[in-house]
Amino acid sequence: MVTQVENPILEVHDLTVSYQSKPVLWNVDFSLPSGSLTGIIGPNGAGKSTLIKSIMGLTEKNSGYIKLFDKPLSKVRKKVSYVPQRESVDWNFPTSVFDIVLMGRYGHLGLFKRPKQADKEFALECLRDVGMEEFKDRQISQLSGGQQQRVFLARALAQNADIYFMDEPFVGVDAATEAAIIELLKKMRNQGKTVIVVHHDLQSVKKYFDWVILINMRLIASGPTETTFTKDTLQEAYGGKLTLLSQISDLLSKEDIPTRQG
Amino acid sequence: MEQLLHFFSFQDPIIRNVILGTILLSISSSLVGCFTFLRKRSLVGDAVAHAVLPGICVAFILHGEKNLWILMIGAFVAGWLSLIVIDLIANKSKIPEDSAIALVLSVFFGVGTLLLTHIQHNPSLSSNAAGLENFLFGNAIAINQQDLYAFGTIACILLATITILYKEFILVSFDVNFAKTIGFPVRVLELILTTLTVLAVVIGIQSVGVVLMSAMLITPAATARFWTQKLNVFILIATFLGVISSISGSFISYVTPSPTGPWIVMILSLIAIVSFLFAPDRGIISKLMKQNAFKQKVIDENILKALYQLGENEQKSDIQYSIKELLNKRPMDESVLSKGLYRLTKERFLIQENDTWQLTPLGKNKGQRITKIHRLWEVYLTKYVQIAPDHVHEDADSIEHILTPELEKKLEELLEYPSTDPHNTTIPYKK
Amino acid sequence: MNTFWIILTGCLVAIPCSLLGSYLVLRKMVMIGDAISHAVLPGIILSFMITPSFDSPLVILGAGVMGVLTTFLIEFFSQKGKLPEDASIGVTFTWLFSIGLILSSAFTSKTDIDLDCILFGEILNIPLQLWITESGVNLGPSPVWFLGFVNLIIVSFIILAYKELFITTFDKAFAIAIGISAGLWHYLLMGMVSFVTVASFESVGAVLVISFLVTPASTAYLLTHDLKKMLLLSVLFGIASAVGGYYLSNYLDSSTSAGMVTMGGILFAIVFVISKKLKTA
C-alpha cells in the first residue's frame, strides 16, 4: 500500500534508523508529491518523530538516503523548515516572542550577520498570520501552550520555506488554536507549500490531511488519505508490533553491534 | 621491601591511624556514594563537601579551639544547610538545578575561605587554629587516636543505618515513583540518605580535603558499575575498591613521601579509567573489540556464503575457486578477503590448494545456513513488513549474521518453511 | 592607587566570567565549567615547571589544553562508556585535580609554586607586577593589560556571535536544521570558558572562578526575561561583587577573591528574597 509518485518533493529511500543501536525504523521507503498536506500517523513509539528528525539530519541513519527537491538536505536547507516538539525547548528562556520568530530568518543570514529591517518586518508579518501580533513583546515564559505553538509556527513561516516538517503541533493546544493552525496549514498548502505533520489523533486525520503515511517501526502505507487511511491499514499499524521484528531489534541493541558491514 | 613490612606491621601509630582512618572513610563514602550514584545525584556530594568549610570555621570561631566534635557538628550543620538551599533555589525559582548546585557550593566555599583567611590573619584566633587548613586539601597524617574514635562512631552509625534500611534505600534509589505508590515514606528516606552523605563527608574531609572528597563518593560507585549488573555485587565492589585505594594510596604517600588524599584519589581514578576502558562487556575497548570481532565474523560468513552460492550455481559444491572468482561473486577489499580466507582455512572451514579454496563440509554447512537465513529474511520482509522484493537484499545482508538459532527456528516456523525466496531462488535447508 | 588596580582586576575577571556564565546557566552546563576550573591545575603546574612565571604563554597554553581535554574526557566517558554525565564530571575533574596536587607536592621544593596562590589567587600581588617599558614609562600592572585583552576577545565574541549563541542555546535541533553547527559553538564556548578560567586564576584562583561564572549570571536570570538584559545585568552584578567584595575582605582582613565570591552570594540572596516577595505580592 505504498503509492510512489513522479517527481517527488521528498523521497525517502530504504531508510533504517537506530536509537542506541536499536532499530526504530526499518527500511522505510516512500515519496511525497509537492503541494500536499500530509499526516504521519502511527502508535506511540512507532518512530514518527524519528522519521522527521532523520529527514532533518538530526538523527544518524544506518542506511538509505533522503532527497528533498531531488537533492540532499544540505543543498536545499533554505527551502526546508522544521518545527520541533514544543516541549523540546526551555520556555523559561529569557527572550521575547518576536526574537523567537526572528530566528526563522537566521538561516538566510550569514555568519555573524544581524537581521535587517526587512527581516524584522517579515517576521512581524508572520506573527500577524498566526494571530499573535499583539504578543510581540511578550516574554515566552508567559505564553500558554497554544500560544507557544503559534510562535513556533510563526518562526517556521518566517523561514519562508517550500516544505515544512512539524512534530506534533497539536499536542497540548486548545481547540481554538488547533482550528486556527489547521486553517493556516491548509492555506499554506493552497499556496503550493508542502506540509508534513506528525499526528496521533486518528479522529481528525480524514478532516485534516489529503495524504497520509502510516508507520509502526516499518512503513505500513503511504498515499492519498481516502484510499490509504482504511480499516485494514489502521489495523496493521495499531494491531501490535511484529514480534520477530522487535525481538531482533532488541537483540541488536543488546549486542551493541553495527548493523551494517563496513 | 623493608618499607612495605614496616608499613603493614602497624607498629607505627601514625601509620596505623592513617590506614584505619582512610579505611573508615572509604567504606562510608563508597557505600553512600553507591546510592547517590544510583539516584543520579553524584554532584550533590561535591556540593556538600565544599559547603562544610564555613561550618567548620564558624564552629571554630564560636568555640575558640579545635575540638573535633564541635567542628564536625559545624560541618554537619553547614552541609545540611547547603542541601536545603540548593533545593530551595532549584525548586522555587527558574534557576536550573546544576546552576543551583554550583552556586551554593562555590558561595559556601567562598564564605569558608573568607572565614578561614580571617582566622589565619587574626592573631587572637590563629594561635589555636593550627591544622584548620587541613580541611581544605586534607592531611591524613594529622589523624590521631581521638579522631579515629570519632570517625569509628560515625561510620558505625552510618553502617547500621544502611544495613537496617538497605531494602528501602535500594528501592528509593532505583524507582522513586514505585516506592511512593507502595506507601514508602520516600521523603523521610531521602532525608536519611542525605544525612548519611553529609556524615560521610564529615568523616572524610580532614583526610582528603573538600575538593577530593567528591571523588571518594563518586568514583568507587562509577567504577563498580562497569563490573556488574547485580546490585549487591555493585555495592560490594565499590566498597572494596574504596578500601584498596585507601591502603595503597596511604602506602605510596608514606614511601614517596607526599600527601595521602591525592594519592588515594589517584589510585581510585586509575582503577576507574582502566575499568572504563577495559572492563569486560561494558568497557569502551571491550565494546570496540566486540564490534571488531563482529566485523570479522561478517566478513568470514560473507566469504563462506559466496563460496556456497558459487557452488550452488554449478550444482556442485566441491569445486575450488580463485580469489578472482570470489571477488567477482562478492566485491570486497582484496586484502580483507585474503585475510578472511587465511582465517577460515586455519579454522578448517576451507581447504587451500595452490591459490584456490574449497569448502570443507563444516564450511559448507555454515555457508548453507547463512544463505538460508538471508533468503528467509527476504521472505519475511516482503510478507510481513511489506517491503518490495527489490529492497530487501541489503537488510537481509546484515540480519543473516546476527540471527540466533532460536530466532532462526522461529522464523522458519512462522514462514512455514518456504521453498523459494522473493526472487524465486531455492532456499537451502539442511538435509 | 593599589586599591584601584585591585578593584579593576576584579572587574576585569568578573566581566567575561559573567557573560560566559550566563550561557553556561542557560545551557545547563555549569558543572562542566566547574570541572574545567579545577582540572586546569596540573596544566598550570606542569608549564610552571618549565618556565617559572605565571605570565608566560606556556602557562596559558598548558591550562588551555587541560580545559579542552577535560571537556573531551567528560564527553568520552559519558557517551562511549555510558556513564551518567554527573558521575563522568565528578570522576574526571577530581582525577586531574589530584594529579595537580601530587605534582605540586613533588615539585614545590624545587620551584616556588605557591599552591594557595593558584587555587585562591593573590589579587593583592597584581599591582606589584608593573609593566615598565624600556624607556622607563610605567604602564601599570601587566596582568591588568592581559585581562583587558581577554575582555576584548570575550566581549567581541559575545557581541559578534550573539545570534549563533542565542539559537544554539535556545533550540539546538532548530539550529542544526537550518545549518548552524551546534557542536562547533559548544566547543567554541567551552574553549572560551577554559581561556577565561586560565586568565583569571592568578587573580582569583582556579577554585573560586566557578563562582564568578555562575553567581552573577544566576542573579541576573532571576530578574529578567530578556537575554540581552540578562547579559548586561550579570556584568553589573559581577562588577558590584568585585567592588563590594574588596571592601568586605579588607574589613575582615581575609582573602580578597573569597570576599568577592561572598559578596556575589549576598547579592544573590538579596535578589532571591526580593524576587520571591515581588511574586507573592
- Residue A5 within a domain: no
Integer CA distances (angstroms), A164 to A121, C167, C218, in order = 21, 19, 37
Q: B225-271 pLDDT, tens per residue? A: 999 888 889 999 999 999 999 999 988 888 887 888 899 999 999 99
CA distance B244 to B27: 10
How high is the pLDDT of residue C30?
92
Residue A2 gets which letter from DSSP?
Answer: B
Q: What is the percentage of chain C residues whose pLDDT exceeds 70? A: 96
Confidence of residue A262 (pLDDT cuts 50, 70, 90): very low
- DSSP notation for C28-72: T-HHHHHHHHHHHHHHHHHHHHHS--TTSHHHHHHHHHHHHHHHH
pLDDT at A258 over 60: no
Query: Residues 64 to 123 of A: which have CB under 8 A from any C CB?
Result: 74, 77, 80-82, 84, 88-90, 93-96, 99-100, 103, 106-107, 109, 111-115
Q: What is the pLDDT of residues A75-117, one digit of tens each?
A: 899 899 999 999 889 998 999 999 999 999 998 887 888 889 9
**Number of Cβ pairs < 8 A linking chain B and chain C:** 200
Pure H helices in chain A: 48-55, 73-76, 97-102, 117-129, 145-158, 175-190, 205-208, 225-228, 231-238, 243-255
Q: Which chain A residues have a beta carbon less than 8 Å from that of C225?
A: 94-96, 139-142
From chain C, pick out residues whose CB is under 8 angstroms from the CB of A81: 177
Residue C179: exposed, middle, or buried by beta-carbon count in 10 A (0-12, 13-18, 19+)?
middle
pLDDT at position C54: 61
φ and ψ at A120, to 5 degrees? -65, -40
Q: What is the DSSP string of B90-141?
A: HHHSSS-HHHHHHHHHHHHHHHHHHHHHHHHH-HHHHTT-TTTTHHHH--GG
Rounded Cα–Cα distance for residues B37 and C83 (Å): 10
Phi and psi of A29, rounded to 5°?
-145, 110
Q: What residues are paired with B352 via a beta bridge? A: B357
Question: So what's the pLDDT on residue C153?
Answer: 93
Cα dihedral across residues B157, B162, B168, B173: positive or negative: positive
How many angstroms separate the CA of residue C224 from the nearest CA in chain A? 7
**Interatomic CA distance for residues A208 and A183, integer angstroms:** 9
- Residues in chain C within 8 Å Cβ distance of B92: 276
Single pTM value for the model: 0.87
Residues in a beta bridge with A30: A12
What is the rounded distance in angstroms from the CA atom of residue B212 to the CA atom of residue B203? 13
Q: Report pLDDT for B316.
A: 64
> Could you tell me whether strands B356-359 and B350-353 are parallel, antiparallel, or unpaired per DSSP bridges?
antiparallel
Nearest to C99 by CA among C52, C58, C43: C43
The phi, psi pair for A5, rounded to 5°, reads -120, 160
Write down the pLDDT at residue B65.
78
Are A258 and B291 in contact by the 8 Å Cβ rule? The answer is: yes
A88 touches chain B (CB under 8 A): no
pLDDT band at B14; cut points 50, 70, 90: confident
Does pLDDT of B431 surpass 70?
Answer: no
Cβ neighbours of C173 (radius 10 Å): 17
What is the pLDDT, as a whole number, of residue C21? 96
Amino acid of residue A70: D
Beta bridge partners of A221: A214
CB contact under 8 A, C258 and B103: no
Number of domains in chain A: 1
Residue A249, pLDDT > 80, answer no
Q: Is B101 on the interface with C (CB under 8 A)?
A: yes
Q: Map out the domains of chain C as residue ranges.
A: 2-125+140-268
Residues 6+ positions from A180 with CB-CB distance below 8 Å: A130, A131, A150
* Highest averaged pLDDT of the listed ranges B157-166, B322-331, C75-84, C231-240: C231-240
State the fold for domain B2-279. Answer: ABC transporter involved in vitamin B12 uptake, BtuC (1.10.3470)
- Report the C-alpha gap between A94 and A92 in whole angstroms: 6
For cell 530578574, name the residue: C223
Q: Residue B216 in contact with residue B11, Cβ under 8 Å?
A: no
pLDDT at position A261 over 60? no
Show me where the domains of chain B are located: 2-279, 283-431
Check CB contact under 8 Å for C178 and A99.
no
pLDDT at residue B291 tops 90: no
Q: CATH top-level class for C2-125+140-268?
A: mainly alpha
Nearest by CB to residue A141, choosing from C26, C161, C225, is C225
Q: Does B383 touch chain A (CB under 8 A)?
A: no
Burial of C6 (0-12, 13-18, 19+ CB in 10 A): buried
pLDDT higher than threshold 90 for residue C195 = no
Residues from chain B that touch C33, judged by Cβ atoms under 8 A, are 102
User: What CATH code is carried by the domain that includes residue A218?
Assistant: 3.40.50.300
pLDDT of residue A122: 94
Distance from CA of A180 to the nearest CA of C (A): 23
Element (H, E) at B17: helix B13-38
Residue A60's domain comprises: 10-255
What pLDDT is attached to residue A240? 63
Task: Considering only residues A17 and B123, tell me which one the structure prediction assigns the higher pLDDT.
Answer: A17
Say how far residue C129 (Cα) sits from the centre of its chain.
Answer: 21
Size of interface A-C (CB pairs under 8 A): 78
Protein fold of B283-431: Arc Repressor Mutant, subunit A (1.10.10)
In whole angstroms, give the CA distance from residue C150 to residue A194.
49
Mean pLDDT, chain A, integer: 88
Max Cα distance, chain A (Å): 58
What is the separation of C-alpha B118 from the centre of its chain, rounded to a whole number of angstroms? Answer: 42
What number of CA atoms fall less than 13 Å from residue B329's CA on the CB side?
A: 19
The closest alpha carbon to C220, from C11, C17, C10, belongs to C17
Q: Which of A99, A114, A196 to mutate to test the interface with C (most CBs of C within 10 A)?
A: A99
Contact B27, B239 (CB under 8 A): yes
pLDDT of B185 > 90? The answer is no
Q: How confident is the model at residue B315 (pLDDT cuts 50, 70, 90)?
A: low
B94: which 3 cell numbers? 527558574
Residue of chain C whose alpha carbon sits nearest to that of A77:
C178
CB contact under 8 A, C102 and B96: no
8 A C-beta contact, residue B258 and residue C102:
yes
Is residue A224 classed as helix, strand or coil in its secondary structure?
Answer: strand
Alpha carbon of A118: minimum distance to chain B alpha carbons (Å): 35
- Domain membership flag for residue A4: no
Please tell me if residue B97 touches chain A, with a CB cutoff of 8 Å: no
Average pLDDT, chain B: 87
Q: What is the Cα–Cα distance from C196 to C21, expressed in whole angstroms?
A: 11
Cα C256 to its chain centre, rounded Å, is: 16
ipTM, two decimals, is: 0.91
